[in-house]
Amino acid sequence: MRIRLAIILVCAGVFSCPAYAQLYNTPIPKVLDEWRFELTPYLWAPSIASTLSYNDQYIKSVDQNASDVLHNLKSGAMISGEAHYGNWGILGDVVSATLQKTGAIPVTPQPGVQIRLADKSTVQNTIVTTAVTYTVIKNDNAYVDALVGGRWIGTTSTINLTLTGSTTFSDSKAMSTADPIIGFKGRYRVADSTWYVPFYADIGSGGGTTNVTWQAMLGIGKTIEKWVDVALVYRGLFYDMDSSKTNGQGLLQKTTFQGPQLSATFKF
């Protein structure tokens, strides 16, 4: 009888340990009245489609896939972070990249005149997103924060132009805009495991030069240890700017960034 009881207890322990381990390493954050922090360095390799304006003429000046972006990347930094106390929190995200590309695109601004654009073009983008968050859903399998904040983008575009003939000149312009955003973010636990589905979405407008901006992410992640997660998501970011409000201070009009993002989140 004692032997049977010992066998039952051992089996119960063996089969319950993974369950306890998964509970201990749950990907769902704990909402407590104390501070918790997250720091997430990541690598985002988006394709870029961008429309620029030159002398009131719209042209498709940038159309690069992820491989092109990595090839043309001169410098960059990508990191996000969060701080929470109870249901309230703040978040910040920074993407900075400088791309340079050589080539030639024929443009006809008026009949009889043809120029070649972008013998050499350099675009430097910095995008900063900040928000205040509040937890609206929290249970064993789901965690959702509502967010209200803003996004700032600063762009410097340098374009070398060669007119038909021999006249050559360059043009460099800069612009920036800040827009209020609203949205939500969170994660859904997969089958009571350490795997989860991370998601994010926001939308905004009203920054003076912006018709609309939005950002969205969706993917798969895993809690490796209590203090670290890894995730692979597909991320998209879009800007539609009003050319009538740029007053000639910027070239960038419509831009879409979209592609895979690999990240590691450190929790402490």
pLDDT tens, 93-110? 999 988 777 666 566 666
Confidence check: pLDDT of 5 > 70: no
Instruction: Considering only residues 79 and 77, tell me which one the structure prediction assigns the higher pLDDT.
Output: 79
pLDDT reported for residue 225: 93
Confidence check: pLDDT of 37 > 90: yes
Q: What is the average per-residue pLDDT within 241-257?
A: 64
Instruction: Considering only residues 177 and 134, tell me which one the structure prediction assigns the higher pLDDT.
Output: 134
- Pairing label, strands 252-267, 35-44: antiparallel
Confidence check: pLDDT of 61 > 90: no
The domains located in the chain, with CATH, are: 2-267 (2.40.128.90)
- Pairing label, strands 113-138, 105-110: antiparallel
DSSP states of 143-204 = EEEEEEEEEEEEEEEEEEEEESSS-EEEEEEEEEEEEEEEEEEEEEESTTSSEEEEEEEEEE
Q: What is the average per-residue pLDDT within 205-222?
A: 90
pLDDT reported for residue 206: 79
pLDDT reported for residue 174: 77
Confidence check: pLDDT of 51 > 90: no
